[in-house]
Amino acid sequence: MENMELKNFWEQIKSELIEVLPESAHPWIYPLEVSGYDKGVLTVVTGQLMGRDLLRKNHYHQIVETIKKFSGNNNSDIVIIYDERAAKSLKRENEKIQKRTLENKLKEQAMENLSNMQSASNLNLKYKFENFVVGKTNEFAYKVAMAVAQNPAKKYNPLFIYGNAGLGKTHLMQAIGHYTIFNNPKLKVKYTKTEDYVNDFISNSRNSKDTVENMSKFNKKYTNIDIILIDDIQFIESKNKTMSQMQHTFDSLYNKGKQIVITSDRIPKDIPTLTAALCSRFEMGLMVELTPPDLDTRIEIIRKLANDNDLKYTEDALKYIALNFDKNVRELEGAFNKVSAYAEMTNRPLDINLAGEVLKCKTGTDKVSIDKIAQVVAEYYGVDLKDIRGTARGQKVSLARHIAIYLAREITGQSFVNIAEYYNKKHTTIMFAHDKIKKELPLKRDLTESVREIKQVLKVI
């Protein structure tokens, strides 16, 4: 028998003995420690000499019967050894096993809670902090969300996360939920889309004989929690009753010191349906904005996607996709998935040529303007558009400006005067810039490469 098994076997016999033997024998039974079992013969050790003798003398038969009952072995027997030191060390050993069993049970319980909560609170397993790529434009929101997760209702309450679609609001919000579930499993988290909350309220408040009971259930569901995550509050209904219910939910949670996290595609003031009372409540804590990630962050986001899926890719493919999808991470991910699916289906490498082919046919070619070229070049070099159009003299800015001017002429075929107007410069300056790049191109490989990449983004190759 394994140690654990033996221990359990003995525990069963022991409890049975406590049942069947008179109370006077209990003080001798309790300290018995099991040390072995072989073919029906159970060996126990005691530190009490008197205990050993009394059990042998008065209860031997009963003990053997009990062992027989649990072992199913007709030749069962009991050997009681007196050994003070052995008894002590066995006791320690058995306590350890007991503790381990208890710990395992607790762990199992925690895992069970977790999976219950996860499905009950509607969280998407991908939306964790670890899977959120942090860059300049989302660093603050990320840190604030993390602070809220670490100290719910202590710092920023409510936390109001806003920004355009596809920038990671739901992801960050649910990350707070996951963090809590894993690190503080005693806290109850509820994630709800505003739409679901509204529908739930409407169906429960409908007049019926059970309305009172239904509403009390509804209230419990949304206020008997420690952290509420309300997604896309811009979809709140303008009906008065819905508003006052939301206010009620908010106030009862807030007054109990519970954390409230809300997302929206705009600030509270710009949600026309929102009452002034709710608006001022939502503005009470901290409002953080998510803006589109910069190029490097966008590249890292799809790189992570590729790595998580063990996909091979070329650097220029990532850059190409990231340059083309700069406003919405969901679309960025969608574009990457499309290219990688295509690569897999056609057994081709995931490189810039494939990306160009797949995505070009999807987005179609807009007419490329001088302004569009300047924007893309600015982003490609990581400089500000206004610097390119201005007089800044840094090396990077100058290079970007020259290339943008060169491409403007080459791609749009507009006159130097028109291009000069856009750049607010003399047309001779524009001509000079254009000629400079034209001469350098055949001589510098990295310049040629950059121009090719930019042209690919502009879909003019």
Q: Considering the complex, what minimum distance in angstroms separates the CB of residue 170 from Mg ion?
A: 3
The pattern of x and - marking residues 247 through 286 that bind ligand ADP according to CB under 6 A reads ----------------------------------------
Q: What residues line the site for Mg ion (CB under 5 A)?
A: 169-170
Q: Considering the complex, what minimum distance in angstroms separates the CB of residue 189 from ligand ADP?
A: 17
Residue 45 or residue 167: which is nearer to ligand ADP going by CB? Answer: 167
Residue 48 or residue 131: which is nearer to ligand ADP going by CB? Answer: 131
Q: Considering the complex, what minimum distance in angstroms separates the CB of residue 290 from ligand ADP?
A: 6
Q: State yes or no: residue 303 binds ligand ADP (CB under 6 A).
A: no
Q: Which partner, Mg ion, ligand ADP, none, binds residue 35 by CB below 5 to 8 Å per kind?
A: none
Q: Considering the complex, what minimum distance in angstroms separates the CB of residue 70 from ligand ADP?
A: 55
C-alpha to C-alpha distance for 155 and 144, rounded to whole angstroms: 9
Residue 197 or residue 218: which is nearer to ligand ADP going by CB? Answer: 197
Q: State yes or no: residue 292 binds ligand ADP (CB under 6 A).
A: no
Q: State yes or no: residue 333 binds ligand ADP (CB under 6 A).
A: yes
The single-letter code of the amino acid at 283 is: E
The alpha carbon of residue 36 and the mean position of all alpha carbons in its chain are separated, in whole angstroms, by: 49
Q: Considering the complex, what minimum distance in angstroms separates the CB of residue 323 from ligand ADP?
A: 17
Residue number of the CB closest to ligand ADP reads 168
Q: State yes or no: residue 325 binds ligand ADP (CB under 6 A).
A: no
Residue 59 or residue 169: which is nearer to ligand ADP going by CB? Answer: 169
Q: State yes or no: residue 133 binds ligand ADP (CB under 6 A).
A: yes
C-alpha to C-alpha distance for 267 and 286, rounded to whole angstroms: 11
Total residue length of the chain: 461
Which residue stretch of 162-170, 241-249, 316-324, 418-426 sits at the interface with ligand ADP (rule: CB under 6 A)?
162-170
Q: State yes or no: residue 37 binds ligand ADP (CB under 6 A).
A: no
Q: Considering the complex, what minimum distance in angstroms separates the CB of residue 433 from Mg ion?
A: 44
For 228, 250, 282, 379, 407, the CA distances from 260, given in Å and listed in that order, are 5, 8, 9, 37, 51
C-alpha to C-alpha distance for 410 and 430, rounded to whole angstroms: 12
The pattern of x and - marking residues 433 through 452 that bind ligand ADP according to CB under 6 A reads --------------------
Q: State yes or no: residue 378 binds ligand ADP (CB under 6 A).
A: no
User: Applying CB under 6 A, what is the total number of residues that bind ligand ADP?
Assistant: 17
Q: State yes or no: residue 165 binds ligand ADP (CB under 6 A).
A: yes
239: tokens are 């009906």
Of the candidates 150, 152, 169, which has an alpha carbon nearest to the alpha carbon of residue 160?
A: 169
Q: Considering the complex, what minimum distance in angstroms separates the CB of residue 318 from ligand ADP?
A: 14
Contacts of 2 (CB under 8 A, 6+ apart): none
Residue for token pair 């996909």: 311
The contact set with ligand ADP (CB under 6 A) reads 126-127, 131-133, 138, 165-171, 301, 329-330, 333
